[in-house]
Amino acid sequence: MTVCLSVQNLSVLSGAKLILRPLSFTVSAGETVAVTGESGSGKSTLARALMGLLPDGFETSGEVTFEGQNLTTLPERAFRDLRGRRIAMVFQEPMTALNPIRAIGKQIGDTLRLHGAVSLRDISAHVQQLLDRVGLSNAGVSAGAYPHALSGGQRQRVLLAMAIACKPALLIADEFTTALDSKTQAEMMDLVKGLAIDHGMAVLMISHDLGIIRRHAQHVLVLQQGCLVESNETEQLFNAPRHPYTRALLSMSLHGTNRPPLTQIPVPSDATEGSQL
Ligand SMILES: Nc1ncnc2c1ncn2[C@@H]1O[C@H](COP(=O)(O)OP(=O)(O)OP(=O)(O)O)[C@@H](O)[C@H]1O
């Protein structure tokens, strides 16, 4: 498989605080890699670092190569062109990402127009295809609908339609099904899986939900307090977890309990799983 995203020794610093310790991994075309770990372990920081969207005051080092381009040295203008066109992201809160006073078809069309993905006269037809693809047409949702008239799951589908509008090579999905019921979660993940298969889209999926990860990811990265403690093929990780923190996460998920306390498991002091890859 062609490597789509290669991360080498990426670290993130905020002031004197090391938020992410040097970590390395790759995501290939058509592959889904999951990132998991407790709240505050650095999952969203990793996603934002890859998108070049860290808040002011954050510094990165290391190298991120996407489709052969080094993103860490890419001028902001060129990065802006990549975002939404070649690298897309979907978040958990659809309402904050959607304009409440613009019809959803127009918002999807805006994405296509912004990136010049299709000719102007073909935009409506493409919007309709995207609404069909994400299952909104079947649910009776038209391009003229406004976000407030949709359910949370339907809004997430709109965001997914916008994210995939330009057929990105990489989709970063940050807890984007977390707020949805399990049936809608499964439908959304199946949609993403279909896109990965049909278009060879690489997916970096951030999730607390180990059940979803096991069903949809081929590889899993486990973060503990900003440190990549385990990186393994999904079935190997679930069947024979190597790191005590991974074992504790699996046990918590299995028993629905917060014992043993994860904070008591020591974070490795220097070399990390990722930096050895
Ligand atoms: N804007 C910020 N300013 C300062 N520190 C931040 C900021 N955003 C995140 N952090 C810190 O970075 C660390 C990692 O946070 P991050 O949001 O990446 O974790 P997470 O694993 O995504 O958590 P969650 O699952 O709750 O979303 C935390 O210690 C957090 O306090």
Cα(68) to centroid of ligand 1, in Å? 29
Q: What is the pLDDT along the chain (277 residues), one digit of tens a residue?
A: 799 999 999 999 998 899 999 999 999 999 999 999 999 999 999 999 999 999 999 999 999 999 999 998 899 899 988 998 999 999 877 667 899 999 999 999 999 998 877 888 899 999 999 999 999 998 999 999 999 999 988 999 999 999 999 999 999 999 888 878 888 888 888 889 888 888 899 999 999 899 999 999 999 999 999 999 999 999 999 999 999 999 999 998 877 655 555 666 777 765 445 444 4
pLDDT reported for residue 276: 41
Cα(37) to centroid of ligand 1, in Å? 12
3-class secondary-structure state, position 39: coil
Cα(126) to centroid of ligand 1, in Å? 37
Q: What is the distance between the alpha carbons of residues 213 and 190, in angstroms, rounded to a whole number? A: 12
Pocket-testing residue among 17, 35, 43, ligand 1, by greatest number of atoms within 8 A of Cβ:
43
Q: How many CA atoms lie within 13 A of 277 on its CB side?
A: 21
Cα(259) to centroid of ligand 1, in Å? 23
Cα(165) to centroid of ligand 1, in Å? 29
At CA 43, angle to CA 201 and CA 71, rounded to 5? 55
List ligand 1's pocket residues with C-beta within 6 A.
Answer: 14, 19, 37, 39-45, 55
Cα(41) to centroid of ligand 1, in Å? 7
Cα(71) to centroid of ligand 1, in Å? 22
**Ligand 1 atom closest to the CA of 41, numbered from 1:** 21
> Going by CA atoms, what residue is nearest to atom 2 of ligand 1?
55
> Going by CA atoms, what residue is nearest to atom 9 of ligand 1?
45
CA 244 vs. chain centroid, Å, equals 25
Structural contact between residues 130 and 168, judged by C-beta atoms closer than 8 angstroms: no
pTM beyond 0.80: yes
Cα(138) to centroid of ligand 1, in Å? 38
pLDDT reported for residue 257: 58
> Going by CA atoms, what residue is nearest to atom 16 of ligand 1?
42
Residues in Cβ contact with 229 at an 8 Å cutoff, skipping those fewer than 6 apart:
222, 223, 243, 245, 246, 267, 268, 272, 273
Structural contact between residues 27 and 1, judged by C-beta atoms closer than 8 angstroms: no
> Going by CA atoms, what residue is nearest to atom 18 of ligand 1?
42
pLDDT reported for residue 195: 85
Which contiguous run of DSSP H or E holds residue 230?
A: strand 227-233
**Ligand 1 atom closest to the CA of 226, numbered from 1:** 14
**Ligand 1 atom closest to the CA of 17, numbered from 1:** 5
**Ligand 1 atom closest to the CA of 206, numbered from 1:** 22
At CA 235, angle to CA 233 and CA 239, rounded to 5? 120
> Going by CA atoms, what residue is nearest to atom 14 of ligand 1?
42
